[in-house]
Amino acid sequence: MVSENVLGKPKKYQGFSIDVLEALATYLGFKYEIYVAPDHKYGSPQDDGSWNGLIGELVFKRADIGISALTITPDRENVVDFTTRYMDYSVGVLLRKAEKTVDMFACLAPFDLSLWACIAGTVLLVGLLVYLLNWLNPPRLQMGSMTSTTLYNSMWFVYGSFVQQG
């Protein structure tokens, strides 16, 4: 990026790429002059096969090297050589390190406590309704069959239906 131009001083560039360029110049012993591509673009292929921007400056040999936050694409790799990436702008997520404790209620973690309370209340309420409906209107059974419609059996039937277990 360009630092503020104060009182007619020349433009000064700063940033990580400039720091890398200065370190290379010191280590390899070369001098450099920074200029920006005339169209202020990174470079893309044109309809006639030529390139614009920074890649165009390198292809037409108006620049020896180019330093920029430039995406390496297969099209660009076909016309210029790239170094390996020295900075990666991928999205990252930071998380607190997990504690190594074992919680015996971890199976309840997928839902909030209020949702578990609603599920339990629903099982109780529907179980009570099944019991009352069976008590008010018992099913007609064949002679000799024995069934017991207790509140416990009604609750167990609703719970088994909810978790799809027998």
Query: What does the H/E/C string look like for 26-95?
Result: HHHCCCCCCCCCCCCCCCCECCCCCECHHHHHHHCCCCCCCCCCCCCCHHHHHHCCCCCCCCCCCCCCCC
Q: Are residues 70 and 18 in the same domain?
A: yes
Q: Please say which residue of 32, 59, 76 terminates a domain.
A: 76
Place of tokens 């009352």: 132
What pLDDT shows up at residue 23?
A: 92
Provide the token pair at 47: 């309809």
Tens digit of pLDDT at every position of the chain (166 positions): 777 766 767 678 888 888 988 999 999 999 988 888 889 898 889 999 899 999 999 999 999 888 888 888 889 989 999 888 777 767 777 777 777 777 777 777 888 889 889 989 999 999 999 889 888 887 776 665 566 678 888 888 888 888 877 5
Q: Are residues 19 and 70 in the same domain?
A: yes
Q: Are residues 62 and 116 in the same domain?
A: no
What pLDDT shows up at residue 144?
A: 58
Kindly state whether residue 18 falls inside one of the protein's structural domains.
yes
What pLDDT shows up at residue 141?
A: 66
Q: Are residues 115 and 68 in the same domain?
A: no
Range of the domain at 125: 111-161
Got the DSSP string for 95-150? -PPPP----TTGGGTTS-HHHHHHHHHHHHHHHHHHHHHHHHSPPP--TT------
Q: Provide the number of structural domains found in the chain.
A: 2
- Domain with residue 35: its CATH number is 3.40.190.10
Provide the token pair at 102: 């074992």
What pLDDT shows up at residue 28?
A: 92
What pLDDT shows up at residue 98?
A: 74
